[in-house]
């Protein structure tokens, strides 16, 4: 897990990666690569994900990486 706060939010809302991919018009493999840190998440995509989730969590918290967890 590369983005533990994002993964936790997806789990809380019972949103699977495939659901996120479909909502964003991306392939499941693309979402998987981004969520595992194999490819970067752009600021624009991060905002789309945050909007899709409907959370007030700041981007820097939602997308904190494993080594940079922010409470």
- 57 compared with 69, residue with greater pLDDT: 57
> pLDDT digit string (tens) for 24-57?
999 999 999 999 989 999 999 999 999 999 999 9
Does the domain at residues 4-68 carry the CATH identifier 1.10.260.40? Answer: yes
In the chain, domain spans:
4-68
CB atoms within 10 A of CB 44: 8
Residues in the chain: 71
């Amino acid at each position: 897990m590369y983005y533990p706060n994002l993964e936790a939010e997806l789990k809380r809302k019972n949103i699977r990666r495939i659901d996120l991919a479909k909502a964003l018009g991306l392939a499941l493999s693309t979402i998987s690569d981004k969520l595992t840190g194999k490819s970067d998440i752009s600021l624009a995509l991060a905002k789309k994900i945050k909007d899709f989730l409907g959370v007030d969590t700041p981007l820097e918290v939602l997308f904190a990486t494993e080594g940079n967890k922010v409470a």
